[in-house]
A and B are shown apart, each in its own frame.
Chain A
Amino acid sequence: MSTIQNKKENVLTRIVLVVGISFFLIILNLWNSGNLGVILQLFKNPRIQVFTIVVTAILLEAIPFILIGALLSGLIEAFVSEEKIRKIFPSNRFLSAVIGSFLGIIFPVCSCGNVVVAKRLFKKGVDTSGVLAYMLASPVINPITFLSTLIAFSYSLQIAVGRVLITFIVAVAISLMLSKNKDILKEDTVECCFHNHNLSKTERIFHHAENDFLLMGKYLVLGAIAAGIFQTFISREAFIALSGNKVLSVLLMQILGILLSLCSFADAFVASSFVNMPSFSKIAFMVAGPMMNITVSILYLGTFKKRFVLKLLISIFFAVLILGTLGTFTGRM
């Protein structure tokens, strides 16, 4: 089995090398024939400029968070015993989910970084409900996001508290619903440490942090590219113009939050600019975005098994849609 796998990998590696070398030769040929200017002119195209700026901006903003998350994850691995972590999360699943939801107040790492931390907690054997609730809620339920939501909505406590409340309900409900799934981590995220026993604690921290950075960084790039494509080619206003009624407004704002892949520390400022949309549709934008935007969803795919990610994304989507719709019909905001 492993020989077949090795052969397959060898073939694929060669394909990657051949494509790379061919690409390099084409560029060299264009440069030699003086036609490289045509290609360089192509890069001046506004679409390519917007795409490059959006992709690079998302990465430059998210990579420090991924690195901090990776370092935190390495510290947990090296210094915090499984027993200590289990003490933080009680054995009662509901209480564990509630505590997990509020852990972001102590560790305000944004959505990209906390997937890395959550993965480490899973590996430490923490109850699924607690870690899931932490992973889903912490990008929103933390002091920085709360303050930015308050400022963005001219100190409207209703919106800021409504966002926290809906995030809390969705995170706790979903983590309880999915907590029975135990074997959820993807196999290639389970590291092999048999040859690392001779490493010092500091070396172990950096070793784990490096693994997390290289693994999650790749998925982050894919997520940023997807968000970049959406931001370059789709018009936000045309998208929102499709909303004809309250349910549709919640649905579309929620989808927009997912497609834009904004940081939870900043999304409130974008949400508040949609002045004609109902408040709950803006809350749906600010809840669904940090929990399941393209970048984060691709990070989930790099961490968990596909089946679990599918269940997780579908549950978040419908939970936010239902709560957002109920809010628009019953709320006063």
Chain B
Amino acid sequence: MEVFKKRDFYQALTIFIWILFLFFTVATGKLEMYINKRFFPLTIIGLLVLLALFINKIKRVKKEDTEDINIQSSLSFIALLFPVLLAVVVRPCSLPGLAASKRGISQEFAGGNVMEILKTQLEMEGNYKKLNIKQVLILAKEKPEEIDGKAVSVEGFVFKQKDPERFILVRFLITCCAADATPLGIDVLYSNTRELKQDSWVKVYGKCRIEEDKIIIMADDVKETQKPSNVYLY
């Protein structure tokens, strides 16, 4: 029981819990919900550093007499444990529409290569060209003639406002992590908007129209769909 009074025990436990947390976040694919894929190698490096710290800690604890736990180290233990507990207990799914309304839905964003989209052999769904929200917005900004009047199918989640015949199709674009996620949105004109559930994932089939530099989709049909495995755009 003496070990439970030792500061090093709690420090080793903190490091171990973080190793487990990082490992399971990576292994279960949940990491995609929090950070951009290109930062995954950094997470792996972090995991390896933590593992090295843990092994070193265990070796040292065996060698030395360690001090008893004090308030400083117990608070440190609680602080570092809190986010792990929060993530495990809350088990978040993806950023909801609330985050979109707090951040402000935008059609403006940087980056994106219009030529790349034009060169790509895009998949077709019947008469509709399958595009994502980012591709639609890039085309609308850089080559409006390529998208105006075209039939497209676009996936996203529903963000309803007061107008019963219109909603915004939203998808988050992330650069580094969910903290910087920018909600990109396209206005959709759809007579049965009332029947759609806020935050539900849908596929919109319709014709694009550019009005005063803003793109709108005149929906022919809106179908409920499964949430994609990766909810973000990069």
Contacts and interface: CB of A to CB of B under 8 A. Distances in A.
B72 A188 contact: yes
Contact of A13 (B43, B74, B94, B177): B74
Contacts of A49: 90, 92-93, 95-96, 98
B53 interface: yes
Given A53-B34, A209-B49, A218 B75 contact: yes
A273 B182 contact: yes
Given A53-B34, A56-B83, A260 B97 contact: no
Scoring A46, A195, A272 by chain B CB atoms within 10 A of each residue's CB, the highest score goes to A46
A326 interface: no
Contact of A55 (B76, B86, B99, B199): B86
B104 interface: yes
A22 to B, nearest CB: 14
A64 B182 contact: no
A229 B177 CA distance: 16
A50 B98 contact: yes
Interface in B88-146: 89-99, 101-104, 106, 108-111
Nearest to A49: B92
Interface in A111-135: none
Nearest to B72: A188
Nearest to B82: A221
B98 A46 contact: yes
Interface residues of B, number: 66
Given A12-B71, A221-B80, A236-B103, A266 B177 contact: yes
Contacts of B92: 49, 52-53, 56
B96 A214 contact: no
Given A195-B64, A263-B177, A272-B110, A217 B96 contact: no
A232 interface: yes
Contacts of B97: 46
B95 A53 contact: yes
B25 A60 contact: yes
A317 interface: no
B75 A59 contact: no
Closest 6 CB pairs of A and B: A64-B46, A266-B176, A57-B178, A206-B56, A237-B104, A57-B177
Interface of A: 8-9, 12-13, 16-17, 20, 43, 46-50, 52-61, 63-65, 67-68, 70-71, 148, 151-154, 188, 195, 199, 202-203, 206-207, 209-210, 213-215, 217-218, 221-222, 224-225, 227, 231-237, 260-263, 265-270, 272-273, 275
Interface of B: 11, 14-15, 18, 22, 25, 31, 33-35, 39, 42-43, 45-46, 49-50, 52-53, 56-57, 59-60, 64, 69-72, 74-76, 78-80, 82-83, 86-87, 89-99, 101-104, 106, 108-111, 175-180, 182, 199
